[in-house]
Amino acid sequence: MPALLGPTNPVPGYDQQPVRITTPPPTDTTVQNIVDPERVVRPDSKSERQDNADTGATRYESNYMTFLQRLRGARDLPEVFMRILQWGGVEVSSGIRSGFAQEMSQFLEFLQMDEAQLLEFLKNQLESGSRFTGPLFGLIRDAYNGTTSEMARSDILQFLRRYSDFSSTEHLEGKLLRETGDMTESLPSQWGDQVKDILAKLQSGVEAGDRQGNLNLLREKLFPLIARYVTTTHDHGRARHILSMMTLDIARYENGDTKGLLHAFRHLTSMGILPDELGKLSDADILRLLKESDFAKAAQNNEFAAHMAALTNAAIRGEAGVNAQEAFRNMMAALLINESVYMPLNHVILPLDWDGKKMFAEMWVDPDVGNTRQEYGDGDFRILIKLDIESLGAFDLLFDAHGTNVNLQVACPAVVAPHAQQVSETLAGILSRNGLRPERVTVAEMRRPIAISEVFPKILAGMTGINVRV
């Protein structure tokens, strides 16, 4: 009897013969989208393997592997920064806006230091680069490492997130003002004038310290205005893009609210995570304790960061010509990689003009090496310094110390290599005069730069994690 409910009459005998499906082997390159039952593949047949770093092809990988790839491919920061330092009055005077030339001149003057100024500069950079420092955060760190309760750890991290956003209030307000100002330049005048009115009110709110008023202004006035603009003009360009970037800043600005910060702090004391004595402090005393941390003080006095930010902003806007724009972009890309959430090291940069000779140094320090001595074999701290000195070239210095015993390995330029013995003896003398005991000081010509991951293998620890990219 024919299958009356079928879309077509069946082929006679189809239900007696076995159906064979021939699957081409996975190695057959003439067939695309082969299904390999031994592994999960993408529907577009693109590979997620990590071994094609040198092919130049687009890679589909995790955020962590992207970080490692960019770390390997980043432009050499000392080389880029030395170009900036060596401009002086040469490139700055050719077709560059006077505002940028003046800012560059002030920046170069700021980098002229003597020994005392260098020490203060280094101290400020270290303190402003470590947000969670001081006795209070030492207690919090000990509590986090000493508890096995996931709820307690979550509460600690929630407080730290709020403190991070609270301590970034000035930075976030500056960004919101700049982004709103940029928005006015990307809109027709009839819309831009309305944003200018919002910007003026936002500026007043920032000066008055009215966080909640600023949030209401942005959410209830700016966001609906840009939504109407996009709906009316169908312009999905720069204004909408700026607004999407502002969303994260607004969320952080709200999360850094004083009331929420105090509530999170008191929750830690009520749960016994922090000593009861801290819970007895007044709100004003708690805020004073948080505002007067080493990080907060250093951030307020970090003139270098202020100069560098203004200079970079002007250069990337095109006020210094194409060469400067490219150099500053490369510099910022390298800095952002080294400040990535995946970088488990403290990173400090030290550009300076010492006795008329320009130089640039960057330093990596493992803040946890004292607790992970078995990873390195040598000791209590490990520091890698990359140094570029005008007219000499690039140096790599690797310090390993256990107590007062220090091993120092120096890779130097070819022009310095003939004087390796003299340099070694001089460095050993410097270490001794500073209360350290040099066990071994070696100086040799640099064959290749020392890779950060070679010195600090913990950078690669995330390779054993789950490979996910959203």
Per the CB < 8 A criterion, the answer to whether 195 and 186 are in contact is no
How far is the C-alpha of 43 from the C-alpha of 33, rounded, in Å? Answer: 7
Q: What angle do CA 102, 348, 417 make, to 5 degrees?
A: 95
Token pair for 252: 């952080």
How far is the C-alpha of 5 from the C-alpha of 421, rounded, in Å? Answer: 95
Q: Report the sign of the C-alpha dihedral through residues 363, 367, 369, 372, in that order.
A: negative
**150-167 and 135-146 helices, crossing angle to 10°:** 150
Token pair for 143: 């509590």
pTM, full prediction: 0.62
Token pair for 277: 């004595």
Per the CB < 8 A criterion, the answer to whether 445 and 412 are in contact is yes
Strands 393-402 and 405-412: antiparallel
Token pair for 36: 């390999």
List the chain pLDDT tens, one digit each, 470 residues: 444 334 444 444 444 444 444 445 545 544 444 444 444 444 444 444 444 444 444 444 567 777 777 777 666 777 777 777 766 544 444 556 666 777 777 777 778 887 788 888 877 777 666 667 777 888 888 888 888 889 999 999 999 999 989 988 888 999 899 899 988 888 888 898 999 999 999 999 999 999 999 999 999 999 999 889 888 888 878 888 888 888 989 999 999 999 999 999 999 998 888 888 888 889 888 888 887 766 666 566 667 777 787 788 878 777 777 777 888 888 888 877 777 777 788 888 888 887 778 888 888 888 665 544 444 444 478 889 998 888 888 899 998 888 889 999 999 999 999 999 999 999 999 999 988 899 999 999 998 888 888 888 888 775 544 444 44
Q: What angle do CA 173, 175, 178 make, to 5 degrees?
A: 110
How far is the C-alpha of 337 from the C-alpha of 325, rounded, in Å? Answer: 18
393 DSSP β-pair partners = 389
Q: What count of Cα atoms within 13 Å lies in the side-chain half-sphere of residue 338?
A: 21
Token pair for 162: 């709020």
Element (H, E) at 353: strand 346-354
Question: Which are the contacts of 258, defined by CB distance < 8 A and separation ≥ 6?
Answer: 166, 211, 287
Distances (CA, A) of 383 to 347, 388, 396, 430: 10, 17, 11, 17
Per the CB < 8 A criterion, the answer to whether 441 and 428 are in contact is yes
